[in-house]
Amino acid sequence: MSKLTKEDLHFFLLKLHSLTGIVPIGIFLAFHLAINSLRTVGVHQYQFSIDLINNLPFLFGIEVLFIYVPLLLHSALGFYVTFAGRMNVRRYPYYRNWMYTLQRITGAIVFAFLVYHMGTTVVPKIYYGKELFDAAPFLIDAMNREFQTWGGRILYLAGIFSAAFHFANGLWGFCVSWGMIVGPSAQRNASVVFLLFGLVLGLLGAATVVEFSLHPVPVAPSFTG
Protein backbone atom coordinates (compact mmCIF):
# COMPACT_ATOMS: atom_id res chain seq x y z
CA MET A 1 0.00 0.00 0.00
CA SER A 2 1.19 3.49 -0.80
CA LYS A 3 1.97 6.04 1.90
CA LEU A 4 -0.79 6.30 4.48
CA THR A 5 -2.43 9.74 4.42
CA LYS A 6 -4.54 11.21 7.22
CA GLU A 7 -7.64 10.49 5.14
CA ASP A 8 -6.68 6.83 4.66
CA LEU A 9 -5.95 6.55 8.37
CA HIS A 10 -9.48 7.72 9.19
CA PHE A 11 -11.00 4.93 7.10
CA PHE A 12 -8.52 2.40 8.44
CA LEU A 13 -9.21 3.32 12.08
CA LEU A 14 -12.99 3.10 11.65
CA LYS A 15 -12.60 -0.31 10.04
CA LEU A 16 -10.42 -1.29 12.99
CA HIS A 17 -13.11 0.04 15.32
CA SER A 18 -15.71 -2.33 13.94
CA LEU A 19 -13.24 -5.22 13.72
CA THR A 20 -11.93 -4.90 17.30
CA GLY A 21 -15.53 -4.98 18.53
CA ILE A 22 -15.76 -8.56 17.24
CA VAL A 23 -12.16 -9.78 17.43
CA PRO A 24 -10.95 -9.80 20.15
CA ILE A 25 -13.43 -7.93 22.39
CA GLY A 26 -16.67 -9.66 21.36
CA ILE A 27 -15.05 -13.08 21.41
CA PHE A 28 -13.65 -12.30 24.84
CA LEU A 29 -17.07 -11.19 26.10
CA ALA A 30 -18.73 -14.38 24.88
CA PHE A 31 -16.08 -16.57 26.55
CA HIS A 32 -16.08 -14.43 29.69
CA LEU A 33 -19.84 -14.77 30.20
CA ALA A 34 -19.87 -18.46 29.21
CA ILE A 35 -16.95 -19.44 31.45
CA ASN A 36 -18.30 -17.46 34.41
CA SER A 37 -21.62 -19.24 34.08
CA LEU A 38 -19.73 -22.38 35.13
CA ARG A 39 -20.47 -20.97 38.57
CA THR A 40 -24.03 -22.27 38.16
CA VAL A 41 -22.66 -25.81 37.76
CA GLY A 42 -20.37 -25.75 40.75
CA VAL A 43 -17.77 -23.82 42.69
CA HIS A 44 -14.98 -26.17 41.66
CA GLN A 45 -15.59 -25.76 37.95
CA TYR A 46 -15.66 -22.00 38.42
CA GLN A 47 -12.51 -21.91 40.51
CA PHE A 48 -10.77 -24.26 38.08
CA SER A 49 -11.55 -21.90 35.17
CA ILE A 50 -10.16 -18.90 37.07
CA ASP A 51 -6.98 -20.78 37.96
CA LEU A 52 -6.61 -22.05 34.42
CA ILE A 53 -6.77 -18.54 32.98
CA ASN A 54 -4.59 -17.06 35.69
CA ASN A 55 -1.87 -19.59 35.10
CA LEU A 56 -1.63 -18.99 31.36
CA PRO A 57 1.87 -18.16 30.22
CA PHE A 58 2.44 -14.50 29.27
CA LEU A 59 -0.96 -13.67 30.78
CA PHE A 60 -0.20 -10.01 31.30
CA GLY A 61 0.99 -9.62 27.71
CA ILE A 62 -2.11 -11.43 26.41
CA GLU A 63 -4.36 -9.21 28.50
CA VAL A 64 -2.71 -6.01 27.36
CA LEU A 65 -2.52 -6.96 23.70
CA PHE A 66 -5.87 -8.67 23.30
CA ILE A 67 -8.06 -6.93 25.87
CA TYR A 68 -6.84 -3.59 27.25
CA VAL A 69 -5.44 -2.03 24.06
CA PRO A 70 -8.33 -3.09 21.76
CA LEU A 71 -10.84 -2.07 24.44
CA LEU A 72 -9.30 1.39 24.81
CA LEU A 73 -9.07 1.83 21.05
CA HIS A 74 -12.66 0.65 20.51
CA SER A 75 -13.94 2.95 23.29
CA ALA A 76 -12.05 6.01 22.09
CA LEU A 77 -13.23 5.54 18.50
CA GLY A 78 -16.73 4.74 19.74
CA PHE A 79 -16.98 8.04 21.60
CA TYR A 80 -15.56 9.77 18.52
CA VAL A 81 -18.24 8.40 16.16
CA THR A 82 -20.95 9.02 18.76
CA PHE A 83 -20.05 12.68 19.07
CA ALA A 84 -19.58 13.04 15.30
CA GLY A 85 -23.31 12.36 14.85
CA ARG A 86 -26.46 13.68 16.50
CA MET A 87 -29.16 11.21 17.57
CA ASN A 88 -32.63 11.95 16.23
CA VAL A 89 -34.69 8.92 17.19
CA ARG A 90 -37.48 11.09 18.62
CA ARG A 91 -38.07 12.70 15.26
CA TYR A 92 -37.52 9.53 13.22
CA PRO A 93 -38.52 6.64 15.52
CA TYR A 94 -37.73 3.70 13.22
CA TYR A 95 -36.50 0.32 14.43
CA ARG A 96 -32.97 0.64 13.08
CA ASN A 97 -32.67 4.21 14.33
CA TRP A 98 -33.52 2.88 17.79
CA MET A 99 -30.79 0.29 17.41
CA TYR A 100 -28.34 3.01 16.32
CA THR A 101 -29.24 5.06 19.40
CA LEU A 102 -29.16 2.10 21.81
CA GLN A 103 -25.81 1.02 20.39
CA ARG A 104 -24.32 4.35 21.46
CA ILE A 105 -26.08 4.45 24.84
CA THR A 106 -25.14 0.86 25.75
CA GLY A 107 -21.58 1.55 24.63
CA ALA A 108 -21.34 4.41 27.12
CA ILE A 109 -22.95 2.28 29.87
CA VAL A 110 -20.52 -0.58 29.25
CA PHE A 111 -17.59 1.85 29.32
CA ALA A 112 -18.64 3.26 32.70
CA PHE A 113 -19.33 -0.26 33.99
CA LEU A 114 -15.93 -1.51 32.86
CA VAL A 115 -14.14 1.31 34.65
CA TYR A 116 -15.79 0.03 37.86
CA HIS A 117 -15.55 -3.68 37.05
CA MET A 118 -11.89 -3.59 36.06
CA GLY A 119 -11.10 -1.18 38.89
CA THR A 120 -12.33 -3.73 41.41
CA THR A 121 -10.88 -6.87 39.82
CA VAL A 122 -7.97 -6.23 37.48
CA VAL A 123 -6.45 -3.16 39.11
CA PRO A 124 -5.85 -4.84 42.52
CA LYS A 125 -4.31 -7.79 40.71
CA ILE A 126 -1.89 -5.56 38.82
CA TYR A 127 -1.31 -3.32 41.83
CA TYR A 128 -0.45 -6.10 44.27
CA GLY A 129 1.16 -8.37 41.69
CA LYS A 130 -0.56 -11.65 40.93
CA GLU A 131 2.06 -13.79 42.62
CA LEU A 132 1.24 -12.15 45.94
CA PHE A 133 -2.27 -13.48 46.19
CA ASP A 134 -4.54 -16.26 44.99
CA ALA A 135 -6.75 -14.97 42.20
CA ALA A 136 -9.65 -17.36 42.69
CA PRO A 137 -10.43 -16.67 46.37
CA PHE A 138 -9.87 -12.95 45.86
CA LEU A 139 -12.22 -12.71 42.87
CA ILE A 140 -14.84 -15.01 44.40
CA ASP A 141 -14.79 -12.94 47.58
CA ALA A 142 -15.15 -9.71 45.58
CA MET A 143 -18.14 -11.14 43.67
CA ASN A 144 -19.72 -12.46 46.88
CA ARG A 145 -19.70 -8.95 48.24
CA GLU A 146 -21.00 -7.37 45.01
CA PHE A 147 -24.05 -9.62 44.87
CA GLN A 148 -25.11 -9.19 48.48
CA THR A 149 -26.73 -5.84 47.68
CA TRP A 150 -29.37 -4.94 45.12
CA GLY A 151 -27.15 -2.05 44.03
CA GLY A 152 -24.43 -4.47 43.01
CA ARG A 153 -26.84 -6.86 41.32
CA ILE A 154 -28.50 -4.12 39.28
CA LEU A 155 -25.14 -2.61 38.37
CA TYR A 156 -23.87 -5.94 37.08
CA LEU A 157 -27.10 -6.86 35.29
CA ALA A 158 -27.10 -3.45 33.55
CA GLY A 159 -23.46 -3.91 32.56
CA ILE A 160 -23.98 -7.48 31.34
CA PHE A 161 -27.13 -6.83 29.32
CA SER A 162 -25.72 -3.62 27.84
CA ALA A 163 -22.58 -5.47 26.79
CA ALA A 164 -24.57 -8.39 25.36
CA PHE A 165 -26.79 -6.03 23.35
CA HIS A 166 -23.86 -3.91 22.21
CA PHE A 167 -22.04 -7.01 20.99
CA ALA A 168 -25.08 -8.57 19.30
CA ASN A 169 -26.11 -5.38 17.53
CA GLY A 170 -22.48 -4.57 16.79
CA LEU A 171 -22.11 -7.96 15.14
CA TRP A 172 -24.97 -6.95 12.85
CA GLY A 173 -23.35 -3.58 12.15
CA PHE A 174 -20.04 -5.28 11.45
CA CYS A 175 -21.64 -7.68 8.96
CA VAL A 176 -23.39 -4.78 7.19
CA SER A 177 -20.45 -2.39 7.04
CA TRP A 178 -18.06 -5.08 5.86
CA GLY A 179 -20.65 -6.08 3.27
CA MET A 180 -21.46 -9.58 4.49
CA ILE A 181 -25.22 -9.01 4.69
CA VAL A 182 -26.44 -6.76 1.91
CA GLY A 183 -30.12 -7.14 0.97
CA PRO A 184 -33.00 -5.99 3.22
CA SER A 185 -34.29 -9.46 4.08
CA ALA A 186 -30.78 -10.76 4.79
CA GLN A 187 -30.30 -7.80 7.11
CA ARG A 188 -33.64 -8.36 8.84
CA ASN A 189 -33.03 -12.08 9.39
CA ALA A 190 -29.50 -11.48 10.66
CA SER A 191 -30.82 -8.88 13.08
CA VAL A 192 -33.18 -11.44 14.64
CA VAL A 193 -30.49 -14.13 14.85
CA PHE A 194 -27.90 -11.79 16.38
CA LEU A 195 -30.32 -10.34 18.93
CA LEU A 196 -31.29 -13.87 20.02
CA PHE A 197 -27.61 -14.63 20.39
CA GLY A 198 -27.23 -11.49 22.52
CA LEU A 199 -30.17 -12.57 24.66
CA VAL A 200 -28.51 -15.94 25.29
CA LEU A 201 -25.26 -14.20 26.30
CA GLY A 202 -27.18 -11.86 28.60
CA LEU A 203 -29.02 -14.77 30.22
CA LEU A 204 -25.75 -16.63 30.79
CA GLY A 205 -24.45 -13.59 32.65
CA ALA A 206 -27.71 -13.17 34.55
CA ALA A 207 -27.61 -16.82 35.64
CA THR A 208 -24.18 -16.23 37.17
CA VAL A 209 -25.47 -13.15 39.00
CA VAL A 210 -28.46 -15.11 40.35
CA GLU A 211 -26.27 -18.00 41.48
CA PHE A 212 -23.89 -15.67 43.32
CA SER A 213 -26.79 -13.81 44.92
CA LEU A 214 -28.52 -16.96 46.15
CA HIS A 215 -25.48 -19.00 47.12
CA PRO A 216 -22.41 -16.96 48.00
CA VAL A 217 -19.31 -19.15 48.23
CA PRO A 218 -17.60 -19.14 51.62
CA VAL A 219 -13.97 -18.26 50.94
CA ALA A 220 -11.16 -16.86 52.98
CA PRO A 221 -8.99 -14.86 50.60
CA SER A 222 -5.37 -15.49 51.45
CA PHE A 223 -4.12 -12.01 51.00
CA THR A 224 -0.45 -11.45 51.49
CA GLY A 225 -0.17 -8.26 49.48
Partner 1 sequence: MTRETIALKIKRQDAPGAKPYWNVFKLPSLPHANVISCLQEIQRNPVTADGKTVTPVTWDCNCLEEVCGSCTMRINGRVRQACTALVDILEDPIVLEPMSKFPVVRDLQVDRSRMFENLRKIKGWIEIDGSYDIGEGPVFPEKIREKAYALSQCMTCGCCLEACPQFTLTNDFMGAATFSQVRYFNLHPTGAMNKEERLEAVMKSGGIADCGNAQVCVEVCPKKIPLTESIAEIGRETTLQLLKNLVLK
Q: Which residues bind partner 1 (CB under 8 A)?
A: 1-2, 6-8, 10-12, 14-15, 18, 81, 84-89, 91-92, 94, 96-97, 99-101, 103, 172-173, 176-184, 187
Q: In whole angstroms, how close is the CB of 95 to partner 1 at the nearest point?
A: 8
Helix (H) / strand (E) containing 70 = helix 69-84
Question: Is residue 121 within 8 Å of 133, Cβ to Cβ?
Answer: no
Half-sphere exposure of 181 (CA within 13 A, CB side): 17
Question: Is residue 110 within 8 Å of 104, Cβ to Cβ?
Answer: no
Report the residue number, 76 or 180, with the smaller CB distance to partner 1.
180
Q: In whole angstroms, how close is the CB of 16 to partner 1 at the nearest point?
A: 10
Q: In whole angstroms, how close is the CB of 82 to partner 1 at the nearest point?
A: 9
Report the residue number, 55 or 88, with the smaller CB distance to partner 1.
88
Report the residue number, 43 or 81, with the smaller CB distance to partner 1.
81
Of 152, 193, 154, 157, the C-alpha closest to 172 is: 193
Report the residue number, 94 or 127, with the smaller CB distance to partner 1.
94
Q: In whole angstroms, how close is the CB of 39 to partner 1 at the nearest point?
A: 36
DSSP 164-203: HHHHHHHHHHHHHHTTSS-SHHHHHHHHHHHHHHHHHHHH
